[in-house]
Structure 1
Amino acid sequence: MTAPDRAPVGRAPTGDEIDWTIDVAPSTTAPARPTIEPAAPHRRRRPGAGRDHSVEVLAVLMILLVLFREPLGNAIADPRLQTWTTVFVSVMVQAVPFLVFGVVLSAVIAVFVPRSFWAKALPRHPALAVPVASCAGVVLPGCECGSVPIAGSLIRRGVTPAAALAFLLAAPAINPIVLAATAVAFPNNPELVAARAGASLVVAMVMGWLWLRLGRTEWIKLPYRPDLDDQSKGRAFWAAVRHDVVHAGGFLVLGAMAAASINVLVPERWLQSLADQPVLSVLALAVLAVLLSICSEADAFVAASLSQFSLTARLTFLVVGPMVDLKLISMQAGVFGRRFAFRFAPTTFVVAVGVSVGVGAVVLS
């Protein structure tokens, strides 16, 4: 048990501390101290008890899709349903490879990287760890789907939540793949690449520092992971991969379904009517980024197609999207808890819009 784990009772938790201990009821003779709950006694399991049947369920669904392919084909003949299916599949196809990358990296961090590494890699002071963690996103080519499980593993390995959350926001927007895609999508506006990187980095650091100031430990509820204890590193690695794929993947599906539904329900003519109004155009593209839930590796090409909007409005689209969208909010709620997601996401949205407008006025005007 480390020194922070033995902190005196009554100390107010701050945003950069996670208390993994369980309080024991105080006795009449000694003051209460945080202790670790003893492991439950081993019980003999029935054969097959606690087995994960996700693979079998997936196999059954695939067989049913093959058997009923003709009725399903007729059912999706409706143009609106075809649009919904296209958007849903495109979001999943874009996100799943990077989700898998993030899950694998998350498992590596959780199983193979010792806690002492993070103590050496990041500054001891949380306020200094935030910008270092934000800049670390430059070296990891992933999207927001992969950064969520990685941030969860970082917190489990003892990284201050403020730094892990700064990495969560920065990595999807400032990694080399995303910046290269932005440069290709806007060949005549190279300043937009620098504006996107700078604005995203500022938002990540501001949110990390806000967490240090206003965050609460009890808002983060990471799922308990007994599958990582008392196993060999190889078995613990695959158990972590399987758990995160099923867990985070389920929330990704819900987010993709919501994004597809929004694409069908929102008329395109609304965008044209808003493009000529500077303030409303920025807010419209910010909200659109949340609703569309496009992977950060592909959102630059969508922004380039919205040529009727100003560069500042499109910059807002590119900054908000990788930090706040429907599938990301769903995944954050699944990994960190709903109390966290419903506070963190709206605050990030406001900060991202404000920073984007400020950077756009300086760099893109």
Structure 2
Amino acid sequence: MSLLDSPLWRDGFTLFLSIVVQAMPFLLLGVFLSGLMAVFVEGSQLARFLPKGKIGSAVAGGALGFFFPVCECGNLPVARQLVIKGIPPHVAVAFLLAAPVFNPVVIFSTWIAFRNMPELVAYRVLFSFGIAVAIGLLFSVQKDLEPLLQPAVWRELQRNRCQEAALKSTSRSPLLQGGTFWIGSQSPAQGASGGSLATLQRAEEVYRAALAAAPALSWRQKGLLLLQTWAREIRELGSVLILGSAVAAFVQTVIPRSFVLDYGQDALVSILIMMALAGIISICSTVDAFFALSFAATFTPGSLLAFMVFGPMVDLKAIGLMLTLFRPRAIFYLVLLTFQFTLVGALAINYYCS
């Protein structure tokens, strides 16, 4: 019997297709929203609607998921555009983690699955939102954003910042602070001298005049730009989704289900198993509640909650998609913090319900 005819291969390929089919519509929805944002929304417009404080902006970032009802496959393109448009990364992190659960579609599907356990629905929403905001606040401590972001995202962010700064009519332009934007390694003291300052001012005036004189894009040009943006996002994110789905399907087929069921009633081990299962199987948050329901008779309430909180935030395909926005070190801290918060919350529920 060839490998292609083996039951293991068929099961793995079926799982792979099911993960891709579940995730692709939401990835396409996220790409659609992010493309519209990239072409038609200015970063300054987005920033005006955010509270100024770190706590308020992190809460707003988490709540933003309610208006973008997509799972973890679709919120990454939106989060990446938020960062590129100049929204602080900690706001994008809060959105990235909260959006897969804190949206009307997932809340409704969870209630349909666990309508006999309404407290589990409330815990899922509250825990997911609270963990997302807490991690967002921890990321807000990082002052230098470059170590967090992928080089391509960082360069695009810097380009957008420079363009928006040049268009602002302020008495002291951000481009002139420090006197090093237009002329290599010149020191602030040199930038403050008369000749150098005049050179910088003339350079900025030329740059601002060039941008102001540039003709506005026609609707046809915007349409072409939108199509190009969609194609690039689908090419970059779709390939990562396929790879992550393949890894998730492979790991699922080699872990015996009997091993999982043997430890379902242990307060700690059951949580660890369900968190590992959530990270591996990579089910979209819109349907994962029905999967968790199949374990309700054999696993602890805290472990079911951990599955539905941890999985939408961190799974194999989500980590792959995050790599298009954040550097591996930032993702490591994000995964570690999510794991710790979820474990503590799920343990509290197990001991509270026992």
TM-score (structure 2 length as normaliser): 0.77
Cα distance in 1, alignment partners of residues 32 and 292 from structure 2:
30
Cα distance in 1, alignment partners of residues 47 and 349 from structure 2:
34
**Amino acid aligned to 2:109:** A
**Does the 8 A contact of 1:202 with 1:355 survive in 2?**
no
Task: State the aligned residue count.
Answer: 292
The counterpart of 1:322, out of the listed 312, 317, 321, is: 312
The counterpart of 2:117, out of the listed 185, 189, 194, is: 189
Q: CA deviation at 1:137?
A: 1.1
**Does the 8 A contact of 2:267 with 2:347 survive in 1?**
no
Q: Secondary structure at the match of 1:223?
A: helix
In the alignment, what sits opposite 1:45? none
In the alignment, what sits opposite 2:77? 149
Show CA shifts across 1:196-232 (max 9, x none). 0000001100100110125752121152588x99973
**Amino acid aligned to 1:300:** A
In the alignment, what sits opposite 2:57? 129
**Does the 8 A contact of 2:90 with 2:139 survive in 1?**
yes
Does residue 264 of structure 2 align to residue 275 of structure 1?
A: yes
Does residue 244 of structure 2 align to residue 255 of structure 1?
A: yes
Cα distance in 1, alignment partners of residues 151 and 299 from structure 2:
40
Show CA shifts across 1:157-187 (max 9, x none). 1111101110000000111111111111112
Higher share of residues assigned helix: 2
Matches within 5 A, 1:29-178: 76-178=4-106
Q: Secondary structure at the match of 1:278?
A: coil
**Does the 8 A contact of 2:100 with 2:285 survive in 1?**
yes
**Does the 8 A contact of 1:203 with 1:355 survive in 2?**
no
Cα distance in 2, alignment partners of residues 112 and 238 from structure 1:
13
Provide closer, same or farther for how the CA distance between residues 304 and 143 of structure 1 changes in structure 2, counting only shifts above 3 A. same
Provide closer, same or farther for how the CA distance between residues 280 and 215 of structure 1 changes in structure 2, counting only shifts above 3 A. farther
In the alignment, what sits opposite 1:331? 321
The counterpart of 1:239, out of the listed 206, 223, 228, is: 228
Q: Secondary structure at the match of 1:107?
A: helix
In the alignment, what sits opposite 1:296? 285
Q: Gaps (5+ residues) in structure 2?
A: 164-213
Cα distance in 1, alignment partners of residues 20 and 315 from structure 2:
14
Show CA shifts across 1:264-306 (max 9, x none). 1101111121112111001110111001111101110110001
Q: Gaps (5+ residues) in structure 1?
A: 1-73
Instruction: Please provide the CA RMSD for this pair.
Output: 2.3
Q: CA deviation at 1:344?
A: 2.0
Does residue 346 of structure 2 align to residue 356 of structure 1?
A: yes
Q: Secondary structure at the match of 2:110?
A: helix
**Does the 8 A contact of 2:282 with 2:317 survive in 1?**
yes
TM-score (structure 1 length as normaliser): 0.75
Q: Secondary structure at the match of 2:116?
A: coil
In the alignment, what sits opposite 2:149? 220
In the alignment, what sits opposite 2:206? none
Cα distance in 2, alignment partners of residues 183 and 158 from structure 1:
36
Cα distance in 1, alignment partners of residues 144 and 237 from structure 2:
23
Does residue 274 of structure 2 align to residue 285 of structure 1?
A: yes
**Does the 8 A contact of 1:319 with 1:356 survive in 2?**
no
Q: CA deviation at 1:108?
A: 1.2
Show CA shifts across 1:36-72 (max 9, x none). xxxxxxxxxxxxxxxxxxxxxxxxxxxxxxxxxxxxx
* Further displaced range: 90-99 or 135-144: 135-144
Q: CA deviation at 1:124?
A: 1.8
**Amino acid aligned to 2:148:** W
**Does the 8 A contact of 1:102 with 1:146 survive in 2?**
yes
Cα distance in 2, alignment partners of residues 222 and 166 from structure 1:
21
Cα distance in 1, alignment partners of residues 142 and 266 from structure 2:
35
Cα distance in 2, alignment partners of residues 250 and 132 from structure 1:
31
Cα distance in 2, alignment partners of residues 124 and 356 from structure 1:
33
Greater gyration radius: 2
Cα distance in 2, alignment partners of residues 361 and 155 from structure 1:
39
Cα distance in 2, alignment partners of residues 160 and 170 from structure 1:
16
Provide closer, same or farther for how the CA distance between residues 247 and 84 of structure 1 changes in structure 2, counting only shifts above 3 A. same
Does residue 234 of structure 2 align to residue 306 of structure 1?
A: no
Provide closer, same or farther for how the CA distance between residues 204 and 100 of structure 1 changes in structure 2, counting only shifts above 3 A. same
Cα distance in 2, alignment partners of residues 358 and 152 from structure 1:
34
Q: Secondary structure at the match of 1:336?
A: coil
Q: Secondary structure at the match of 1:334?
A: coil
**Does the 8 A contact of 1:183 with 1:193 survive in 2?**
yes
Provide closer, same or farther for how the CA distance between residues 89 and 209 of structure 1 changes in structure 2, counting only shifts above 3 A. same
**Amino acid aligned to 2:329:** R
Provide closer, same or farther for how the CA distance between residues 222 and 328 of structure 1 changes in structure 2, counting only shifts above 3 A. farther
